[in-house]
Amino acid sequence: MLTPRATRKGTTVTSRALVLGGGGITGIAWELGILTGLAEAGTDLTDADLIVGTSAGSVVGAQITSGTPLAELFARQLRPVRDEIAMRLPWSATARIAWAVATERDPARARARVGRVAHASARSSLTERREVMRQRLPSHTWPTADLRVTAVNARTGHREVFHRGRAAPLVEAVNASCAVPGVYPPVPIGGRLYIDGGMYSSANADLAAGYDRVVVLAPIARGAGPLASPQQDLAHLPGKPATVVVSPGEDAVAAIGRNRLDPARRAPAAEAGRAQAAEVRWSVARVWGE
């Protein structure tokens, strides 16, 4: 629901949405780096009226609305990697997913086919993933802030948007949003199975419809087939809101590396995001109204 509020100057009434896209473990780190660097420069995006989180962005959204200081969340990204291992999408699953997306005209049916791939080729257990998510989230209850978490119904291919008013535990909703097909298992919620929200759109920025100012942090800025890019989502927003999409710059791309699910790249990605904030601060501040 739209909840406009007065800006800091108190002269106008505006509403702000922060959209956090998907991008794996390194995407979480990069987004927290960008948010930290911007806050240090005087532009705090965490007080948005609406926060939309997809996949990695759902983790970040849950973290920044938990009451945990942003500096602490950033510091966690710099800790040495211990028991975590790098995961990769198998080539066989990659081929099956690409074939489903390329050959199916109906986007929902394509996503449902991907859901079947996800169910058959997961490389970790649901129990393991739940424990990982519990450790990753500082709070396991929905925040009072308007946080929206996206996932895709693995049977129908339709998008689901979880929030405080929707009967789904926060940990399960975020776990579903992060269920990368072919790597992590689909997540059961309310008798239905869900996969990664990034299978609908890399950022689901269309959910910011009705807001005056929209900032999108997009570790993955491109679309593919029926998967809309953030720019495509924003182009269809009514009312022509002020928008900006921030994606990894050249240095950040190098820091992230080729495997977005490699925890060893977490610290470099976070540091690169923090450094990149200086480059994008003014474009973000103009949209944010500061």
Catalogue the active-site residues.
55, 196
Residues forming a β-bridge with 18:
51, 215
The Cα–Cα gap between 29 and 68 comes to: 16
Question: Are the C-beta atoms of 175 and 193 separated by less than 8 Å?
Answer: no
- Give the residue among 67, 61, 31 at the shortest CA–CA distance from 48: 61
Cβ(114)–Cβ(73) under 8 Å?
Answer: no
- Residues in CB range of 111: below 8 A, 6 or more apart: 152, 157, 158, 195, 199, 200, 226
CA-closest candidate to residue 206, choices 3, 19, 14, 16:
19
CA atoms within 13 A on the CB side of 167: 3
SS3 content of the chain, % helix, strand, coil (to 5): 45, 15, 40
Q: What is the DSSP letter of 201?
A: B
**CA–CA distance, 277 with 280 (Å, rounded to integer):** 5
